[in-house]
Chain A
Amino acid sequence: MEKTEDLSQDLVKGDVSAPISDQLPSQLKVEPPKTQSPITAVGTKSTAITAGVPAEIDKIESKEIFSEFREHSVAEFFKKNRQMLGFSGKIRSLTTLVHEYVTNSLDACEEAKILPNIYVKIENLPDQHVRLYIEDNGPGIPKQFVGRALGQMLAGTKFHRFVQQRGQQGIGATGGTMYAQITTGKPVHCRSGIGDNNIFECDIAVDLKTNSPKISNMVEYTGKYRGLTIVGEFSEVKYDKSEYAPFEYLKATALANPHAQITVVEPNGERTVFERAHNEVPERPKPAQPHPLGVTTDDLINYSHHSKERKLSSFLTSNFARISDSKVDELRKLCPSINFDKMPRELKWEEAEALVNAFKQIKWIAPSADPLRPIGKEQIEKALKNVLKPEFISISERAPKVFRGGVPFLVEVGIAYKGKSGREKSDGFVGLDVKRFANRAPLLFDAGGCATMEAVKTIDWNRYGLKDIENMPVTIFMNLVSVHVPYTSAGKQAISTEEEIVEEFRYALMEVARDLDRYISGKIRDEQRESRKKAIKRYVKQLASDLPYLAGRGNTPEIEKKLIYLIENKYAKIFDKSTRLTADEVKAAKKEQVEAEIEE
Chain B
Amino acid sequence: MVKKSDIKAGKDNAVSKLESMGNTLLTEIEKEQSPSFEAPLRGRSNVFHNEKTGCLYLGEKKEKRFFLNVAQAKKFMQTVAVASKCKKFKEENLHTSIRGLFYQLKFTLGDDIDEELFEEQSESNELVEDLEVSLAVKREELNLNTARKGVVAGPIRIKDKFAGDETIIDGTKQGRSGWMIPSDVDNGMELLDVDADYVLVVEKDAMWQRLNEDKFWKKENCILISPQGQASRGCRRLIRRLADLKLPIYCFADCDAWGWYIYWTIKTGSMNLAYLGESIATPEAKFLGVTMSDIDTYDFLSKLTIRAKEVDIKRAEEMLTYPWINKHPEWVNELKTVLEVKKKLEQDALQGPRLTFVADYVREKIEKKKFLP
Within 8 A of A (CB), among B56-109: 66-70, 73-74, 76-77, 80-81, 83-84, 87-88, 109
Interface residues of B (CB under 8 A from A): 18-19, 21-23, 25-26, 29-30, 32, 34, 66-70, 73-74, 76-77, 80-81, 83-84, 87-88, 109-110, 113, 115, 117
8 further A-B contacts with Cβ under 8 Å, apart from A539-B74, A562-B32, A574-B34, are: A535-B70, A539-B73, A542-B109, A546-B81, A550-B19, A552-B23, A566-B32, A570-B32
Q: CB within 8 Å of B: which of A556-595?
A: 559, 562-563, 565-567, 570-571, 574, 578
Q: Contacts A542-B109, A546-B84: A559 and B26 contacting too (C-beta < 8 A)?
A: yes
Q: Which residue of A lies closest to B114 (CB)?
A: A538
Distance between B101 CB and nearest chain A CB, rounded to angstroms: 14
By the criterion CB–CB under 8 Å, are B84 and A567 in contact?
no
**Contacting pair B77 A552 (CB below 8 A):** no
Mark A residues whose CB is within 8 Å of B.
Answer: 532, 535-536, 538-539, 541-543, 546-554, 559, 562-563, 565-567, 570-571, 574, 578
- Of A538, A553, A574, the residue contacting B26 (CB under 8 A) is A553
15 residue pairs A–B, Cβ–Cβ below 8 Å: A536-B68, A538-B113, A539-B74, A539-B109, A541-B109, A543-B76, A546-B84, A549-B22, A550-B25, A551-B25, A562-B32, A563-B67, A566-B29, A574-B68, A578-B70
User: Once the chains are docked, how many angstroms separate the CA of A542 from the CA of B110?
Assistant: 9
Let me know if A553 and B23 touch, CB within 8 A: yes
> Do the beta carbons of B18 and A550 come within 8 Å of each other?
yes
**What is the bound-complex CA distance between A553 and B29, given in angstroms?**
13
Report whether B68 and A543 are in contact in the complex, using a CB–CB cutoff of 8 Å: no
Best-buried of A532, A549, A551, A553 by chain B (most CB within 10 Å) = A551
Q: Which residues of B contact A532 (CB under 8 A)?
A: 70
Q: How far is A538 from B112 in the complex, measured between Cα atoms in Å?
A: 9
Please determine whether A566 and B34 come into contact, CB atoms closer than 8 angstroms. Answer: yes
Q: How far is B25's CA from A562's CA once the two chains are assembled, in angstroms?
A: 12
The B interface, classified by DSSP as helix, strand, loop or mixed, is helix
How near does chain B come to A526, taking the closest CB pair, in angstroms? 15
Query: Is the pair A536, B21 in contact by a Cβ cutoff of 8 Å?
Result: no
Please tell me which one of the listed residues A541, A551, A570 contacts residue B22 in the complex, with CB atoms under 8 A apart.
A551
A563 and B81 form a contact (CB under 8 A): no
Residue among A546, A562, A565, A567 with the highest chain B CB neighbour number at 10 A: A546
Evaluate contact between B81 and A554: CB separation under 8 angstroms.
no
| Residues on A with beta carbons closer than 8 Å to the beta carbon of B18 | 550
CA distance in complex: A550, B22 (Å): 5
A547 in contact with B34 (CB, 8 Å): no
Q: Give the chain B neighbours of A550 by CB distance below 8 A.
A: 18-19, 21-22, 25, 80, 83-84, 87
Q: Are B76 and A554 in contact (CB under 8 A)?
A: no
Minimum CB distance partner of B70 in chain A = A532
Task: With A570-B68, A574-B69, A578-B69 as known contacts, state yes or no: A539 contacts B26, CB within 8 Å.
Answer: no
Distance between B24 CB and nearest chain A CB, rounded to angstroms: 8
Give A571 to B33 CA distance when docked, in angstroms. 11
| Residues of chain A within 8 A of B88, CB atoms compared | 549
With known contacts A543-B80, A547-B25, A549-B88, A570–B73 Cβ distance under 8 A: no
Q: Distance in Å from the Cβ of B8 to the closest Cβ of chain A?
A: 16
The distance in angstroms between the C-alpha atoms of A73 and B268, with both chains bound, is 106
* Cβ A566 vs Cβ B68 within 8 A: yes
Q: Decide if B67 touches A543 in the complex (CB within 8 Å).
A: yes
Q: What separation, in Å, do the CA atoms of A571 and B69 have in the docked complex?
A: 9
Nearest residue (CB) in B for A562 is B29
A565: chain B residues within 8 A (beta carbon): 32
CB nearest to B82 among chain A residues: A546
Q: Which of A547, A553, A566, A570 contacts B80 (CB 8 A)?
A: A547
